[in-house]
Structure 1
């Protein structure tokens, strides 16, 4: 199943760091997401984009995970040659992951 079937996502950025939240639609799906969407899997999923560390923060009270990805925006908003300098489309890319 695609991650988008049980969760939605939002992104943010600061410099060359991208931040992706992953929020379960239903409380019972949080554990599935927590177990299947690891930092290693996210790092591998974004291997062509993210060149730094990936950290994961768990927010069980709201059924969410927050991934902070370093060296992820081609040098940052003011330096990137990417069409999506802020990395807003990264949330859609994450939701396309098979779990």
Structure 2
């Protein structure tokens, strides 16, 4: 494994998996205390927990707006985000959370 691959493996990240005119699919790996960047979801999405855990959905000030707990091997539906609301996903646990996200485009 290269140094670059090792560095990427040690960061919270999104990894594109598939995209067409109906859906966009990515894998998110959220390491403890390394939130995803602020973002917004314009469409509903299904989350499939590969490695479950608890994530805090935080606003730009780092304040927790809600907490989500996902069990490994289970799927969950998340609705469209409220207009203008951005959030980051923060893992306050001790092990990485890994999910596949299937976001509808329509």
Higher-helix-fraction structure: 1
By the TM > 0.5 criterion, same fold?
Answer: no
TM-score bracket for the superposition, by shorter chain length: 0.3 to 0.5
Q: TM (normalized to structure 2)?
A: 0.35
**More strand by proportion, 1 or 2?**
2
| TM-score using structure 1 length | 0.37
Task: Report which of the two structures shows the higher radius of gyration computed on alpha carbons.
Answer: 2
